[in-house]
Copies of this chain bind each other. A is one copy, B any other.
Amino acid sequence: MKIAVLPGDGIGPEIVAEAVKVLKALDLRFEMESAPVGGAAYDVAGHPLPESTLKLALGADAVLFGAVGDWKYDTLDRPLRPEQAILGLRKHLGLFANFRPAICYPQLTHASSLKPELVAGLDILIVRELTGDIYFGQPRGRRTAVDGHFPGAEEAFDTMRYSKPEIERIAHVAFQAARQRAGGRGGKLTSVDKANVLETFQFWKDIVTEVHAQYPDVKLDHLYVDNAAMQLVKAPKAFDVIVTGNMFGDILSDEAAMLTGSIGMLPSASLNAKNQGLYEPSHGSAPDIAGKGVANPLATILSAAMMLRYSLNQAEAAARIERAVDTVLSQGLRTGDIWREGDTRVGTVAMGDAVLAAL
């Protein structure tokens, strides 16, 4: 088994180092190899996703990814910007299924913007389609408008699209996730669309409804994306699993993550049909605190746990990591992002060490 380790930019290297430390301590048989990605790769190789990095990722069973991006790359042409690396990896690895849990840890309920009773025990899963939709649809670009409100004016455009098999496969993944979370039968899936306006999402709704026939034990409902954005604020615990497209999933998964108040705790997984996966924290590269040793490594450590479970078939080791994280939280250890009066404030390395000790 081989893991490609791509630390990236900002706090990426620091938090990935802690996850690697934890993985090594497990004494499992796998090989790890690192490569630059994002701005760090642009600096050394002139491209955010160099050929050699992509090759390493394609040949690995899993990718452990830190984060990419820094203000200093903002003026580069779009194809050279750090985030293109992540879009390229998703595309070339065919990582169509993105899992973004939004969990409120009992020890951190107070960190949420929401009243504690609305988030205590929150545990929802957003399944976001990750290789289709308006992210990759062609044609796109700039041109002279031939119709619309201002014919003759310069305009920019993009294409939203979903094919039937693309919707079917993500729907299967989501129904199975709902069923599995319910212990093998049952569960609830909310499909989020904008069928009242978009052809693409009327089609989405139709296909998800069709696939539902194969999962009669799972309760399915449909919400418009604007309503979903509201219900997440109003009563997040009313959700179980949410499935949606790439664009809506981008927005709702971040909204849901922030509801917990502790985005520094939230891992994510992006899988392809062969269970190869890319694992990364839900938060970004936080260039403002990079190199200061204060970043929270727990989302990355928990991403490594997801990696063990989904791509490396090591569910027991994954559970060990998760229990260790729970233990350090219960010990009152906190990095700055989740610290409050009375807690023990620790830095990135000390937090990694604490997880190691708790293993």
Contact = CB atoms under 8 A, between A and B. Distances in A.
Residue in A115, A159, A162, A200 with the greatest tally of chain B CB atoms within 10 Å? A159
Interface string A110-136: 000111001000000000000110111
Interface of A: 78, 81, 83, 87, 94, 96, 113-115, 118, 131-132, 134-138, 140-142, 145, 147-150, 153-166, 194, 196-200, 202-204, 225-227, 229-235, 247-248, 250-255, 257-259, 261, 263
- Copies of this protein in the complex: 2
A87 B148 contact: no
Given A251-B251, A254-B227, A163 B155 contact: yes
Contacts of A235: 113
A230 B203 contact: no
A196 B259 CA distance: 24
Contact of A198 (B113, B149, B155, B158): B158
A159 B156 contact: no
Given A113-B115, A202-B78, A163 B154 contact: yes
Contact of A254 (B160, B202, B229): B229
A197 to B, nearest CB: 6
B156 A162 contact: yes
Given A113-B114, A153-B165, A257 B230 contact: yes
Nearest to A152: B163
B163 A160 contact: no
B196 A81 contact: yes
Nearest to A229: B255
B113 A199 contact: no
Contacts of A194: 247, 250
Nearest to A228: B251
A128 B197 CA distance: 16
B200 A158 contact: yes
Contacts of A196: 78, 81, 83
A206 to B, nearest CB: 9
A259 B164 CA distance: 36
A211 to B, nearest CB: 14
Contacts of A136: 148
A114 B137 CA distance: 37
Contacts of A248: 251
A87 B154 contact: no
Q: Select the residue from A83, A158, A160 with max chain B CB neighbours within 10 A.
A: A158
Contact of A229 (B115, B135, B165, B251): B251
A136 B196 CA distance: 12
Nearest to A254: B226
Contacts of A165: 149-150, 153
Contacts of A255: 229-230, 232-233, 255
A343 to B, nearest CB: 19
A132 B158 contact: no
Contacts of A263: 230
Given A131-B149, A155-B161, 20 more contacts: A78-B196, A78-B202, A94-B149, A113-B233, A113-B234, A132-B149, A134-B134, A136-B148, A140-B198, A140-B199, A149-B163, A154-B163, A156-B161, A156-B202, A226-B254, A229-B258, A230-B255, A233-B233, A233-B255, A255-B255
A157 B140 CA distance: 13
